[in-house]
Amino acid sequence: MAKRIPADSVGIVSPELFHFDEPLELRSGRVIEQYDLMVETYGELNADKSNAILVCHALSGDHHAAGYHNPDDEKEKPGWWDCCIGPGKAFDTNHFFIVSLNNLGGCAGSTGPSSVDPATGKPFGPDFPIITVRDWVKSQARLADRLGIHKWAAVIGGSLGGMQVMRWAISYPDRLGHAIIIAAAPKLSAQNIAFNEIARQSITNDPDFHAGRYYDFNTYPKRGLMLARMIGHVTYLSDNAMRDKFGKDAIEGNFGRDLRSGKLNFSYDVDFQVESYLKYKGETFSHSFDANSYLLITKTLDYFDPAVDYNFDLSKAFVDSQCKFLVISFTSDWRFPPERSREIVNTLLKAEKQVSYLEVEADQGHDAFLMPIPRYIQALKSYLGCVIEEISGKEGKPDAG
Amino acid sequence: MAKRIPADSVGIVSPELFHFDEPLELRSGRVIEQYDLMVETYGELNADKSNAILVCHALSGDHHAAGYHNPDDEKEKPGWWDCCIGPGKAFDTNHFFIVSLNNLGGCAGSTGPSSVDPATGKPFGPDFPIITVRDWVKSQARLADRLGIHKWAAVIGGSLGGMQVMRWAISYPDRLGHAIIIAAAPKLSAQNIAFNEIARQSITNDPDFHAGRYYDFNTYPKRGLMLARMIGHVTYLSDNAMRDKFGKDAIEGNFGRDLRSGKLNFSYDVDFQVESYLKYKGETFSHSFDANSYLLITKTLDYFDPAVDYNFDLSKAFVDSQCKFLVISFTSDWRFPPERSREIVNTLLKAEKQVSYLEVEADQGHDAFLMPIPRYIQALKSYLGCVIEEISGKEGKPDAG
């Protein structure tokens, strides 16, 4: 029996691999001679190719943003932004052609550290170059060329995805109509970098890491990757979100301290549900993500700082940008708090850009950007509804509403 | 040449080991047959033994709270609360007799996992029982008996130290005059527990951990302990504190992103100063702290929840407490934020106790409680000044001022 697919889903989707032969010169000065990008698209590109939206993924995301891959797997979860992408949804596939790719350096089909280096016949491993957000956007622009899309109706992303959106507006100021930057920051804080460095050390400390050449040993640093993900996960959730998640059956003021077996063990076994949940999350992640990609992408995050080329005045970076901006933050996000989004807004205002800003009251922490929070989804839908009207040639002025 | 010791220091101090033969029954049901406590005292106990203050240490603290150990070591740093303890300081050794001990399960001389188990002739290691705050306070009460102190003028502590203060007021309601609870919480949140579990896994993942029996292998889980401490350290500092620490020479809005070598490496080497600082902090700590003690004391933190015996109404726990309370929090502390201290205050008010509360504006995060922040130190000094007057039989009503 085939599984039931919701009516507002994009349904069963198939990724497509795009090969690029033209060498890509990177920010580091190194060159990737050739590479593949794994891509999914949802909806139909219109005749004048004006209805395309690029979705940029965050640290642990990939090209599979919506729909399902397996017609028979009833337990399969849809793509990571399925709550936003589909017919009638905020990124309405009845109107838009949505493009989502696994970024270079990733591990879901695009060329990355786990890919075979044609020069050696072995995986790149630690020899894979450090990729920056600018490099990603450069590769995404080539993908746009390949698809015949000169100008995106919108480029959209959350967290590290939002950083790619900013870079699009800077590097290709005339190639996007709208820049939607969600739960992001103009650059990482020292605390952000610190958590990334701790995650990296968790991985490199693991004896199964083998200096990044674990592929040759037919193993991978599972425990290190679990730990890295656990650290990340705690920083994506708010204190309140964790409390709600692990204190549902509990009396008031339990603070998410639900005991796993109803009593304390007085041993080093797992006592609290939050501990087993984190282990579970870490373990699941460790099966599907490449450790070298995790190291790489945390460096991509650390390195993001487009102001360096503009004498540390970020507003100058946006001077040429012709798009309109929507910036969204979430009140309980302590990884990239609203304060950081307001920095982006103030920078854009200083550059005299047209910018809308929405701060969403939400308890879910940084992860909120992935969730179907009504006010958030409604704002995206309303804003993109105006973009549809623009494309159709009708009157329409996007606003966060 | 002997080193110069500041005039307001307690000077050169020597710890003293106290041996206890009477078995200590623990919360877990297990029994420690005999144990040692390493103790330092500062100032003189008065004739009626009414001027004693007990100082309780936090996760990484020990008995050495003030003064110096080595007359010749010019680089030696003083004890961990030296900014508060000394002649003329907030805990004025001209008036008070201060007692500070290394808690059971620690690794600075008191009996703990690294001590030799008389039954086996080998270190206890993972066989050392889980110790709770209640057990600590019980052992501290025995120390008080040994010193002839029936009633402390005050019991004082920050963070986990503050939890011991609360437990004193609950377990020995007539044995302290004042309870000073700083940067604490009535119990850990799910997020707090999550960070502790991640720290524990960092240690137990280390191949040098050897299931806690690393002593037998003449090694210790150095990298795991480093990582655990790095995680802790990030949570003790505020985002702003890190920004200030690592962005001093930088332009506005640098967010503590000072580069170590002035430029990006485009490798997995250390790029930012915050990374090398954390590694340094972790490494220093790993030389001086026992990994099993770290595991143990994070469990002590996780397990603290005195409300469990009072049908989860913490106010009932304090009904018999005869002491006055001072509660202090710091605005940028996100490990135990002011909200958690206000919970304590509200609980005490519900129990109809006399309580003063001070929320100190401070950028230093959780670590603020260890720092000479003028308003904080002044409040402690003012409050304890009134305690001195009480002891002297003069009029005096402590207030946070």
Q: Which residues of B touch A270 (CB under 8 A)?
A: 197
**How many helices and strands in chain B, by DSSP H and E?**
10, 14
Name which of B13, B75, B59 is nearest B38 in CA terms.
B13
Q: Fold for domain B16-187+307-391?
A: Rossmann fold (3.40.50)
The span from the CA of A298 to the CA of B224, in Å, is 20
Provide, as residue numbers in chain A, all residues whose Cβ is less than 8 Å from the Cβ of B251. Answer: 312
pLDDT of residue B393: 82
Q: What pLDDT is attached to residue B160?
A: 98
Catalytically active residues of A are 159, 333, 366
- List chain A residues with CB under 8 Å of B207: 207
Tokens of B109: 């001389």
Provide the Cα torsion A154, A157, A161, A162; round to 10°.
80
Q: Angle A127-A130-A135 (CA atoms, 0-180°, nearest 5)?
A: 130
B333 is catalytic: yes
The whole-number pLDDT of residue A393 equals 82
Integer Cα distance of A320 and A174 in angstroms = 8
Say if the Cβ atoms of B191 and A239 lie within 8 Å: yes
Task: Name the helix (H) or strand (E) containing B223.
Answer: helix B222-236
| Pick among B195, B196, B197, B299 to test the A interface (most A CBs inside 10 A) | B197
* Amino acid at position A234, single letter: V
- The residues facing B259 across adjacent strands are B272
Helices (H) and strands (E) in chain A, counts: 10, 14
Distances (CA, A) of B286 to A196, A203, B126, B297, B337: 20, 19, 18, 15, 27
Nearest to B187 by CA among B300, B102, B296, B62: B300
Per-domain boundaries in chain A: 16-187+306-391, 194-297
Q: Which of residues 192-231 of B touch A (CB under 8 A)?
A: 193-195, 197-198, 200-202, 204-207, 223-224, 226-227, 230-231
Is A191–B239 a contact, with Cβ atoms under 8 angstroms apart? yes
Contact between chains at B29 and A266 (C-beta distance less than 8 A): yes
On whether any CB of chain A is under 8 Å from the CB of B401, the answer is no
B190 at A interface, C-beta within 8 A: yes
* CB A328, CB A361: distance < 8 Å: no
| Spatial separation of the C-alpha atoms in residues A218 and A122, rounded to whole Å | 12
- Look at B275 and A126 and tell me if their CB atoms are within 8 Å: no
B221 C-beta neighbours (distance < 10 Å), count: 26
Residue B291 CA to residue A67 CA, distance in Å, equals: 47
User: How far away is chain B from the Cα of A392, in angstroms, using its nearest Cα?
Assistant: 41
What is the residue whose two structure tokens read 């003021």?
A: A253
Residues of chain A with pLDDT under 50: 248-252, 395-396, 401
B259 lies within 8 A of chain A by CB: no
Q: Which CATH architecture does the domain made up of A194-297 adopt? A: Orthogonal Bundle (1.10)
Q: Minimal Cα distance from B282: which residue of A?
A: A198
Q: Under an 8 A CB cutoff, do B256 and A189 touch?
A: yes
Among A187, A223, A334, the residue with its CB nearest the CB of B205 is A223
Establish if B305 touches chain A: CB-CB under 8 angstroms: yes
Provide, as residue numbers in chain A, all residues whose Cβ is less than 8 Å from the Cβ of B194. Answer: 230, 234, 242, 274-275, 278
Distance between CA atoms of A208 and A220, rounded to whole angstroms? 6
Instruction: Write down the catalytic residue from B62, B92, B206, B333.
Output: B333
Q: Which of residues 73-112 of A touch B (CB under 8 A)?
A: none
Nearest CA of chain A to the CA of B90: how many Å?
A: 32
Q: Chain A contact for B268, CB < 8 A?
A: yes
User: A186's torsion region: left (phi>0), alpha (psi -120 to 50) or beta?
Assistant: alpha
Taking the alpha carbons at both ends of chain A, their separation in whole angstroms is: 43
**Residues 6 or more apart whose Cβ sits within 8 Å of residue A203:** A209, A221, A224, A225, A227, A228, A291, A294, A295
Q: CA-CA distance, B303 to A150, in Å (whole number)?
A: 59
How many beta-carbon pairs under 8 angstroms link A with B?
172
The token pair at A118 is 């044609």
Using the Cβ of A262 and the Cβ atoms of chain B, whether some distance falls under 8 Å is answered with no
Q: Which ipTM was obtained for this model?
A: 0.92
Is A126 in CB contact (< 8 Å) with chain B? yes
Q: Cβ of A303 and B264 within 8 Å?
A: yes
The residue of chain A with its CA nearest to that of B344 is A253
Residues facing B178 on adjacent strands: B154, B324
C-beta separation of B185 from B340 below 8 A: yes
Q: Give A77's contacts (C-beta < 8 A, 6+ positions apart).
A: none
Q: Which CATH class is domain A16-187+306-391?
A: alpha beta
Contact B319, B351 (CB under 8 A): yes
HSE of B88 in the Cβ direction (CA atoms, 13 Å)?
4
Partners of residue B326 on adjacent β-strands: B180, B356
Q: In what order do the strands lie in the sheet with B152-158?
A: B16-20, B35-42, B97-101, B52-56, B152-158, B176-182, B324-330, B355-360
Helix or strand (DSSP H, E) at A161: helix A160-171
- In chain B, which stretches have pLDDT less than 50? 248-252, 395-396, 401
Q: Per the CB < 8 Å rule, is A278 touching B194?
A: yes
Give the chain A residue whose CA is nearest to the CA of B224.
A205
Of B191, B251, B274, the CB nearest to A312: B251
Q: Does B340 touch chain A (CB under 8 A)?
A: no
Distance from CA of B208 to the nearest CA of A (A): 10
What is the pTM for the complete model shown? 0.94
